[in-house]
Amino acid sequence: MKRNGKRTAIALTIAMMLPGTSGTALAASPEIHPSHIASATKSEEKLPERATQIVAALEKLEPALKTLTKRTIVKSEMDEKLLNLYLESPESNDMGATVVFDSKTGELFTYNASLYIWKQGEIATDEVILQRAEKAVLELLGADKRKQAGSPQLSKAVEEVDPEELTDPLAIYRTIYYPVVLNGLEILGNRTGIYVTTDYAGHILGVSTELLDLKETKVPDPKTALTPEAVKKQFFTPDRLELGYVLEGKDAKPGMQYLWMNNAYIDAVTGKQIDFTHGTELAGNGKRNPDNLKNITLSPKGEPLIVKSRADGEKVVAGLFDVDTKVMFPEYYTGEVDGEIIHSWSDEFGYEDVSISVDASTGAVTSADIFMETKSLPVPLSKEEALKKAISFIEPYAAKSSTEWQVEIFDPYKQPKLADWMIELNEGEGEEEEDTGTGTYTFIFYELHDGLPVFDRYYWMKVDIESGQVFTFIVNMPEKEGTLPILKPSVTEQQAAEIVAKNLPVKLSYFWPTYKGKQAPFLTLVYTVDKSKSWPYVDAVKGTLEWGEYEE
């Protein structure tokens, strides 16, 4: 579900927009375009014919590249099978591009260009950006590679882009991802495919491709999958749904919803929920443990968590984590990213740090994190002790709007039972099975209204069971305007489950399990919730399937 207060990392980089890539798909910053290349004297290297054709196509797509007249061809220092073509402006070190080719075939490996080649300010429509990306893929990579990828997925635009203040990568670049397609199905779990990066005007800043080698990989026939109707009936049962309120539902109005709390991978052959990394079946078929849902009474003090300055931040950090930043963390950093201001303190080596994120307009804290070495307790915290720790942490700051809360407890992660191929991998490397727990309890405290959780008013935290320290804290408490109404559902949980089974679209895909960085010798067929229209839920008052906001 989408959280109003976005939790943003301190050093948000463009690479975070494309998890799973090595960065080759991204438009390069000026720093990676050498103004002088120590080992790149005018070499005797020449481009293969296909590479020459690609350069001509690039210049046709982006005529501004013709102004980069200082050109050098060198063998890649990282891989001698690759050729690097550096294009530089004779007038500015900030304007350049790098094109990497296969030295034998001349096919494009990756292309990156500096943003500063083009004047910023123009904003193209999504349709224009997609058209330009499609043309670039066909002309630079060829129709055969395009056939191996599916429909393009365009990153969301940031509203009200200010070209004079381009500090957020999301406000500088648009990314188009073409996922690899096999037997008409997307392959989840590897992010392989074709990537194109543009600026907001649609100029092509980056192109790269990483396709699959499935020579020794078993690929199941999609015909072996259960029908969507069968898997939905088997999986979406009443015990997977929870009834609750939302303060800001459809059209930003309060509402009552039945929703499910995880974005599951469902084995398309067995109908069982599987681990989204290893592909092994989850204990309890991924259902929530009813013993880990508790209604509790808090004594909220309502102390404000507002930060308008560094001094405010130091006081908040001291209150939350009992640390003196002036003594323990002398290095200080602040910056604004995507509507949030980040305050971060670290030791002089950068090994330990504490940070908070606050809403740029209100100063309200949206998240806080600490990473530092602490002494272990004589005995690790039990679940009950960890809950007491979480309650004592939250009560000084909890909103006074309610004393009644629901807490959901997530036990320390336990690795599912290893599949045979994982055991063989361990034996082949002379290793034993990995540790099955991460040593943390996670708690989500939902405010209750008329005995039901308010899904978009909550506190979220992690407690280390070895040290007893809260090390991650997230706040999502939008302001109430008036009071929530008392609503009555028109459908039962059973009826809501039937509505889901009848109307919810699910998507069949391949999934490639991984373990210790190695991929399984097979693909698995999985069903996932189709989020193309956003995140689905059942409107408990209307009795209809609806789509709300969702952020992964």
SS3 string, 264-311, reads: CEEECCCCCEECCCCCCECHHHHCCCHHHEEEEECCCCCCCCECCCHH
In this prediction, residue 496 carries a pLDDT of 94
Say if strands 518-519 and 204-210 run parallel, antiparallel, or are unpaired: unpaired
Within 10 A of 294 (CB to CB), how many other CB atoms are there?
A: 12
3-state helix, strand, coil in the chain (%, to 5): 20, 30, 45
**Residue 42 burial (C-beta neighbours within 10 Å; 0-12, 13-18, 19+):** exposed
Any residues with CB less than 8 A from the CB of 534 and at least 6 apart, and which?
547, 548, 549, 550
Helix H or strand E encompassing 428: helix 420-428
- Residue 430, amino acid: G
In this prediction, residue 119 carries a pLDDT of 85
- Residue 152, amino acid: P
Task: Output the six-digit token pair for 59.
Answer: 């210049």
Task: Output the six-digit token pair for 234.
Answer: 């088997």
Query: How far, in Å, CA of 93 to CA of 114, rounded?
Result: 10
Which residue reads 């061809």 in tokens?
73
**Beta strands per DSSP E along 80-159:** 82-88, 96-102, 108-113, 153-154
Task: Output the six-digit token pair for 123.
Answer: 């904003």
- Which of helix, strand or coil describes residue 465? coil
- Tens-of-pLDDT digits for all 552 residues of the chain? 333 333 322 222 222 233 333 333 333 333 333 333 333 334 568 899 999 999 999 999 999 999 999 999 999 888 889 999 999 999 888 899 999 999 999 999 999 999 889 987 788 999 999 999 999 999 999 999 999 899 999 998 876 555 555 445 556 889 999 999 999 999 987 778 999 999 999 999 999 998 888 888 999 999 999 999 999 888 888 988 999 999 887 777 899 999 887 778 999 999 999 988 888 888 877 888 889 999 999 999 999 999 999 999 999 999 999 999 988 999 999 998 878 999 999 998 888 999 999 999 999 999 999 999 888 999 999 999 999 999 999 999 999 989 999 999 999 987 778 889 999 888 877 666 555 555 899 999 999 999 999 999 999 999 999 999 999 999 998 876 667 899 999 999 999 999 988 888 899 999 999 888 888 999 999 999 877 777 789 999 999 999 876 444
Task: Output the six-digit token pair for 163.
Answer: 């070209």
37-to-73, 86, 91, 112 alpha-carbon distances in Å:
11, 9, 16, 17
425-to-217, 415, 428, 509 alpha-carbon distances in Å:
15, 16, 5, 25
In this prediction, residue 435 carries a pLDDT of 52
Task: Output the six-digit token pair for 43.
Answer: 């070499």
Q: HSE (CB half, 13 Å, CA atoms) of 459?
A: 27
**Beta strands per DSSP E along 402-439:** 404-410
Which residue reads 């013993």 in tokens?
291
In this prediction, residue 44 carries a pLDDT of 61
In this prediction, residue 1 carries a pLDDT of 34
Give the distance from CA 70 to its chain's centroid: 39
253-to-77, 256, 459 alpha-carbon distances in Å:
58, 10, 21
- Which of helix, strand or coil describes residue 111? strand
3-class DSSP string for 161-194:
CCCCCCCCHHHCEEEEEEEEEECCEEEECCCCEE
- Which of helix, strand or coil describes residue 291? helix
Query: How far, in Å, CA of 190 to CA of 512, rounded?
Result: 7
Say if strands 185-188 and 506-511 run parallel, antiparallel, or are unpaired: parallel
Query: How far, in Å, CA of 450 to CA of 455, rounded?
Result: 13
End-to-end Cα distance, the chain: 8
In this prediction, residue 481 carries a pLDDT of 62
